[in-house]
Structure 1
Amino acid sequence: MPESERERGISWSDPVEKLPGIGPSSGKTLSERGITCVGDLVWTLPIAFDDLRAPRSVAEVLQDPAGGADLGRADAGGARVCVRGIVKSATVVPMRGRRAVRVIVADPPSGAADSGGAAKKKEPTISAWWFFMAHAVLSAAKPGEPCLLVGRLNVEKRLMAHPDFMLDGPDGRIVRARYPRLGIAEATVRKAIAAALDSPRGVSDPVPARIASREKMPPLLAAMRAVHGRGGVLAEPPADAARACLGERLGWAEAFTHVWARLGAGVAGEGASRARALPRNEPALARLRAELGFALTASQERAIREIGADLAQTAPMRRLLLGDVGTGKTAVLLAAAAQCVAAGAQVAILAPTGVLAEQYLDAARPLMRQAGGELGLVTGADRSAVRRRTLGRIARGDIKVVVGTHALLSQDVQFADLALVIVDEQHRLGVAQRLSLASKGLAGKGTRPHLLTVSATPIPRTLALALRGELPTSRLDERPMGRPPVVTRTWPRARMAKVIERLGALCARGERAFFVSPRIDVDPDDPNDDPSNAAIVRAEELGRALGPHIVTLVHGSMRPEEKAAAMRAFRRGEAQVLVGTTVIEVGIDVPEATLIIVDGAERFGLAQLHQMRGRVGRGARPGTCLLVHDEPLSPLAQQRLDALCRLSDGAQVAQADLELRGAGELGGTRQSGSGEELHYLDPLRPPPWIERIEADARALHASDPLLEQHPDLQRAVRRADVAIAVREEAG
């Protein structure tokens, strides 16, 4: 950095490349994660803290890995520990065309001389592996040197993969911030954040100073320094007050983003305030009910009436459909589509994944059988010739119901008369994306399409009013007749053979099952990795045990046509067991599926597990969910799985999740887009300023509609919209 810039200092609005250690390559990596300026990086808060002040001996951690200072809960990768010892050896090991580094660490000698009269007791050791040429480790790990290892310990194999290695001494006995994976070395992240905190030319506070003062929010810089420490090093874990200070500001930015998106969407629709009236058509709805082949619940019928009344008006409908897993949201959406098609207009159904789009295509076939017309599918995997033909029929109005993924948002997708947009699983789509599709109606008849969005996550009324305003909402609060709650049980992974026996009996009865694995393939660089954790390996094993024609596989790395073929085989019963990753979390509706097995269940969040078990028990037969887990479970993991076994209602599951994980996580519930409804706000304890957030947003919208005078807030909104994939109505 030139001397003049060093004297000027680093501003939090500067490009992140201004920070030490971050060059063009690292800057590009960070930008892919939404981090483009210094303030973005500083607001990347620690996800946990390693307390290294009281490291434990090799013998202690091998005997009780979960004891001692809390370095994060144990999971399938082992307990995260800090081990002190001495280096026994450090060697380079040839491995698969590369070289790895292995360091063996043991406890120091006790000091007592060996008389030689008794056999020596084998000393406990831990092998630390780095599956690359870790030159810095090799240069420091000299035999006899006292050292610390920090990482996850596989007790059974007495092994740690890629731990942090440091020489033991006063400088190493610290509390250290731990950051989310950003694609660059964590040491670089710590150094860069320290430089930013040492040279702030204006703190990047997303909350405008006037509002922060009114709400008596504590000063930001002191809290930032307390949480990040000096280069990620702290004298002790940060005080609750400092964490709460930052958490409150993140919560305010999250709430503001929800409200701002709603206000901006209203402005975007000005000048096109009329929609095409779609009269309610009772004969068309009656034919659809007959095609569906099952009786609708009272709440489904009520939602259909509410939506139908909105569609019949020239005021553009902006309605949210809320319904827990298995309450029949798809049937309600098809009824809305039937009303639109009966009026001669087009419907666009936007799904976040190709698997869900294919599911909708199948679900819409009864609608088109009774209404006539064509169905169309638009995905990013379409071949050029097929895509051109499909887009031509959409533009002419031949295709009445268009189902698609993000590919529907492309500029070359044009509609003749788009009157209704349905956005399912809309928490995975940003506000701008939803508005982009809704605006396509202007290219046809010049009217603004009706918009119906769907959410499966409940939200308390206090926050709903603040974040969504008076948005009309239809709620599905009962399950279809004859659908009992899914029976949920925990199951130790050591008894997997019994699970496979159960799968064989289930297939013999003609039923179907899902098997969810935590990852796609084996990690060749991780010696802790159990191959059977991988979906590809599990599918091969089940194919050998049950028959290859019985098992099919689907995961996110497959080509779209391969995924579609696997899903079709499962839905049609050509395959009875579908092995996959969490790509099956949403949207798959196979009434014959009666069992879902979630391997490594302790690795998943409660809301995600609740979504996955909603894939079964959707037909006449009861459903069962087996939560397969490694042993021993940490106390927190045991509580979470027990809660899911006890609870079946989505609102109760969401509340249990909040109570178990607490509202104090600075990193939020997730670090990326497809997370739960709220990352930083606690629905159980909404802050007092939530009642004033709409007025604040409206005042800023009137005085600074582009937030040009509030650049810190502008950046916070941009990041929040990406990070939380705002879960409310886009119009």
Structure 2
Amino acid sequence: MASHRGGRMTESKGRPPALFPLFAGIETLPGIGPKARAALEQMGVTRPRDLVMTLPTGGIARRRIARIADARPPEIVTLTLTVSRHHAPTARNRPWRVHCSDDEGGDVTLVFFRARGDWIASQLPVGARRLVSGKTELFDGLAQMIHPDHILPEGDPPPAGFEPVYPLSAGLTQKMMARGVEAALTRLPDFAEWIDPQLVAARGWPGMAAALDQAHHPASARDLSPDVPCRARLAYDEFLAHQMTLALVRREKRRLRGRPSAGDGGLRARVLAGLPWPPTGAQSRAVAEIAADMASDRRMNRLLQGDVGAGKTLVALLAALVAVEAGGQAVLMAPTEILARQHARALEPLARLAGVRLAALTGRDKGEARAMILTDLAEGRIDILVGTHAVFQKDVAFADLRLAIIDEQHRFGVAQRLELSAKGHEPPDMLIMTATPIPRSLALSQYGDLDLSVLDEKPPGRQPITTVMIGDHRLDEVVARLDSAMEKGARAYWVCPLVDESEVSDLTAAEARFTALRARFGERVRMVHGQMPADQRDAAMADFASGRAQLLVATTVIEVGVDVPEATIMVIERAESFGLAQLHQLRGRVGRGQGASTCLLMYHAPLNETGTRRLTTLRDTEDGFRIAEVDLEMRGAGDVIGTAQSGLPRFRIGDLEHQAGLMAVAQTDARALLERDPDLSSPRGQAVRMLMWLMQQDQAFRLISVG
């Protein structure tokens, strides 16, 4: 199989010869010398294929006019001029001026800075007629054009009325890019259609080669939009190749024989009977999907996505009980010690209802206590283990691990997921949970190999949260209102801002606020932050949870999972410095009990447009999925998930913010094609293979069954 640059696979075994010209070195294109090659490599363009997939990001409209008097400066125009005379510079920093006239005697001056006189003389000899295109401006009431974009002999075809503008790196010009693209387009082979013909017809999409040609030759600004047919089709090509790879990975995972873990429902029934209210429809549906996966002989790989307060904890416990009912064990892993301990506290009463033993294991467990947990775990006396990365250590062994639940997946790498899989005698079923609502398009592109369960209903006990925006000049008023609420027994969080490190650290800001509030409220105030020793942090949290303290000053360490149902007030200072998803998570720390809850978004005026949209979105809705969609529109895909750990594919053309719907279609299409044609041997299957080579999904080919 053919390699990516730096190759793992050999050309002879895979890539179709029809694609060889597109995968040759970029320097094989005319006009691309060593300098241009180095500049293109800066943009990740190393082959003609990369160049054809680099579409224009803008365009220049050039209006053809007969007389300079018809120009509307500053405007880009194309017109025929006669060269009258040259005015060479009289001093070093002066420009070279060339005086010209149109056919009706209108005057325009072409201006060149630091230009060579011999070059100008050869381009614009006196008396010659030239087709000139560039931006007209008025200088002292006279028309001029500084460094025209095009100077052509009169008989040449005029430049396009709408000229594409490409992204550039240092050392490249638009002309070099345009020339390179034109040459690369000639190397496109005659592709067989790989998209479902019904979809092509329904959407009015051109073929692949025609789509690329149209995308590189836009006729107007409208043709740069992601939803014009040619661009939508090219985005779909990328999405389809990506989803084919994920579908193959999913099929491979499902081939891994899991052990059927069919529970009799007895332990789950005990828990449900002891709850103050029944589970939501979404919770019941998710548990049913998980139990069905676990009962099958295929290994489960499922993502459980829930909004803040949608009740993932209950679903996780009921899933764990399926494993225990089947005679095995379950592990729940959290990214931080605070979260692991808290999960253990939240799950303990539910485990007691079921009559099963639950234990916590974190880096803090040492010596004899740790040794006892490990012995009990290895001998099967612990049914459910809750832990952090400490679970990865070599001495942690299970008697019969059936289910691994990972909380906050995007903080765990795929390598760690695989490491955890190796813990069971056979790989355990895998349930991944995220409390961050992710727009569907991103969930499909990041987790398309997983089956998806979504919790989109709030349990009956959750209170709506009143969200208010308030300027920080009213700080004294906020403190006074807090005072009167605390007098009535209220508990509150005060989250300190994210601060630019050049000024002062986040911790310094939190400590200053803590000192000020401690002076006002005395012993009722505690502080938690990420750099505190774990025992001090736990002690402060315990004081707040028990009511010994009423006000908890914190950095974003409390963003995920902290659960104190009695807390009803959340103050977020400099709220505009936080991301939308983070604000939504912070707000979700209140509204967990019976009391009416409030979230104060304290901002520093004046708010810019982004800050205003962020805070008003949060004020106007509690729907995490809606908030996530706005976040995606505002920040882009990589930022929403955090590109470093996102595993998000980098699409050259596809735009997840604007073409989200296409990703879902591509997933359905890819999975259906694999069902019908498992080894991609049909004519369409063969065409899809070509697409995957073109989109550099080489690694997927080892997953295609042969025959």
TM over 0.5: yes
Q: Distance in 2 between matches of 1:508 and 1:595?
A: 13
With over 3 angstroms needed to count, the CA separation of the structure-2 counterparts of 1:709 and 1:562, relative to structure 1, is farther
Could you say what secondary structure the match of 1:348 adopts?
strand
**TM-score normalized with structure 2 length:** 0.60
1:270 paired residue among 230, 255, 266? 255
CA distance in 1 between partners of 2:338 and 2:214 (Å): 44
Instruction: Encode CA deviations 1:546-570: one digit per residue, 9 max, x unaligned.
Output: 2255121223x44545544443333
The equivalent residue for 1:551 is 526
Cα 1:275–1:432 change in 2 (3 A) is farther
8 Å Cα contact 2:575-2:583 kept in structure 1: yes
- Work out the CA distance in 2 between the residues paired with 1:38 and 1:411: 45
The equivalent position to 2:388 in structure 1, one of 405, 424, 427, is 405
State the 1:631 CA deviation: 0.9
How far apart are the structure 2 equivalents of 1:558 and 1:38?
51
**Which residue identity lines up with residue 500 of structure 1 in the other structure?**
V
User: Where do 1:358-373 residues align within 5 Å?
Assistant: 358-370=341-353, 371-373=355-357
Q: Equivalents in 2 of 1:270, 1:471: separation in Å?
A: 15
Q: 1:661 aligns with which of 604, 615, 634?
A: 634
Quick check: 327-336 or 532-541, which moved more? 532-541
**Does the CA-based 8 Å contact 2:379-2:399 persist in structure 1?**
yes
**Residues 411 and 502 (structure 1 numbering): CA distance in 2 closer, same or farther, change over 3 Å?**
same
Match of 1:541 in 2: 516
Segments of structure 1 that go 5 or more residues without pairing to the other structure are 1-6, 12-17, 22-26, 50-169, 172-176, 180-186, 227-236, 719-731
3-state secondary structure, aligned to 2:618: helix
> For 2:662, what is the secondary structure of its paired residue?
coil
Query: CA shift at 1:376, angstroms?
Result: 2.6
Match of 1:351 in 2: 334
Q: What residue number does 1:310 align with?
A: 292
Q: Which residue of 2 aligns with 1:680?
A: 656
In structure 1, the partner of 2:669 is 692
* In 1, Cα distance between equivalents of 2:51 and 2:456: 42
Instruction: Choose from 314, 323, 330 the match for 1:331.
Output: 314
1:260–1:697: 8 Å Cα contact kept in structure 2? Answer: no
Q: 1:693 to 1:654 in 2, by over 3 A?
A: same
Aligned length: 548
Residues 633-682 of structure 1 deviation map (CA, whole Å, 9 limit, x = unaligned): 12343233222212122233334445x639xx586646525779998254
Tell me the equivalent position of 1:485. Answer: 464
Between the aligned residues of both structures, percent identity stands at 28
* Residues 398-547 of structure 1 mapped to structure 2, 5 A cutoff: 398-410=381-393, 412-441=395-424, 443=425, 446=426, 448-449=428-429, 451=431, 453=433, 457=437, 468=448, 471=451, 473=453, 475-481=455-461, 483-519=462-498, 523-524=501-502, 526=503, 534-547=509-522
One-letter amino acid of the structure 1 residue matched with residue 521 of structure 2:
L
Q: Check the 8 A contact 1:426/1:455 in 2, yes or no.
A: no
Q: How big is the shift at 1:272?
A: 2.1
RMSD over aligned CA atoms reads 5.9
User: What is the one-letter code of the residue matched to 1:575?
Assistant: A
Q: CA deviation at 1:451?
A: 3.7
Q: Deviations over 1:663-707 (max 9, x none)?
A: xx5866465257799982547643665653446788798699xx9
Q: C-alpha distance in 2, partners of 1:522/1:493?
A: 18
Q: CA deviation at 1:591?
A: 0.1
Deviation at 1:265, TM superposition (A): 4.2
SS at match of 1:277: coil
Q: Say if 1:377 and 1:646 are closer, same or farther in 2 by CA, change over 3 A.
A: same
- Structure 1's 272 and 281: CA in aligned 2 closer, same or farther, altered over 3 A? same
2:264 pairs with one of 261, 279, 282? 279
Q: CA deviation at 1:248?
A: 8.4
CA 1:453–1:589: 2 relative to 1, 3 Å: same
- Tell me which amino acid in the other structure corresponds to 1:621: G
C-alpha distance after superposition, 1:133-186 (max 9, x if no partner): xxxxxxxxxxxxxxxxxxxxxxxxxxxxxxxxxxxxx99xxxxx9x9xxxxxxx
1:680 counterpart letter in structure 2: L
- Does 1:394 pair with 2:377? yes
Distance 1:286 1:242, change over 3 A: closer
Question: Structure 1 506/338 Cα, relative in aligned 2: closer, same or farther at 3 Å?
Answer: farther
**Compared CA separation, residues 565 and 202, structure 1 to 2 (3 A):** farther
User: Residue 598 of structure 1 is aligned with which of 550, 553, 572?
Assistant: 572
Deviation at 1:577, TM superposition (A): 2.5
Deviation, 1:604, is 2.9
Instruction: Output the CA distance in 1 between the equivalents of 2:293 and 2:678.
Output: 32
CA distance in 1, matches of 2:235, 2:360: 41
| Alignment-mate amino acid for residue 523 of structure 1 | E
**1:295 equivalent in structure 2:** 277
Q: Structure 1 residues 190 and 641, CA, compared in 2 at 3 Å: closer, same or farther?
A: farther
| 1:297-347 Cα shifts (integer Å, max 9, x gaps) | 442663476258527734355555443222222122223323433554211
Which residue identity lines up with residue 600 of structure 2 in the other structure?
A: L
In the TM superposition, residue 349 of structure 1 has moved relative to its aligned partner by 0.8
Which one-letter code corresponds to 2:464 in the other structure?
P
Q: Matches of 1:349 and 1:211 in 2, distance apart?
A: 42
**What letter corresponds to residue 517 of structure 1 in structure 2?**
C
Distance verdict in 2 for CA 1:668–1:314, change over 3 Å:
closer
Q: Kindly indicate whether residue 596 of structure 2 is the aligned counterpart of residue 627 of structure 1.
A: no
TM-superposition CA deviations, 1:73-97 (whole Å, max 9, x none): xxxxxxxxxxxxxxxxxxxxxxxxx
Tell me, yes or no, if the aligned pair for 2:361 and 2:385 is still in contact at 8 Å: yes
1:575 corresponds to which residue?
Answer: 549
Q: 1:268 to 1:685 in 2, by over 3 A?
A: closer
Looking at structure 1, the residues matched to 629 and 405 of structure 2 have their Cα atoms a distance apart, in angstroms, of 28
> Is this contact kept in 1: 2:26–2:46, CA < 8 A?
no
Q: How many angstroms does 1:250 deviate by?
A: 7.6
What SS class does the counterpart of residue 278 from structure 1 fall into? Answer: coil
User: Structure 1 residues 9 and 683 mapped into 2: Cα distance closer, same or farther (>3 Å)?
Assistant: closer
Match of 2:486, SS state, is: helix
TM-score by length of 1: 0.58
- What SS does the aligned partner of 1:609 have? helix
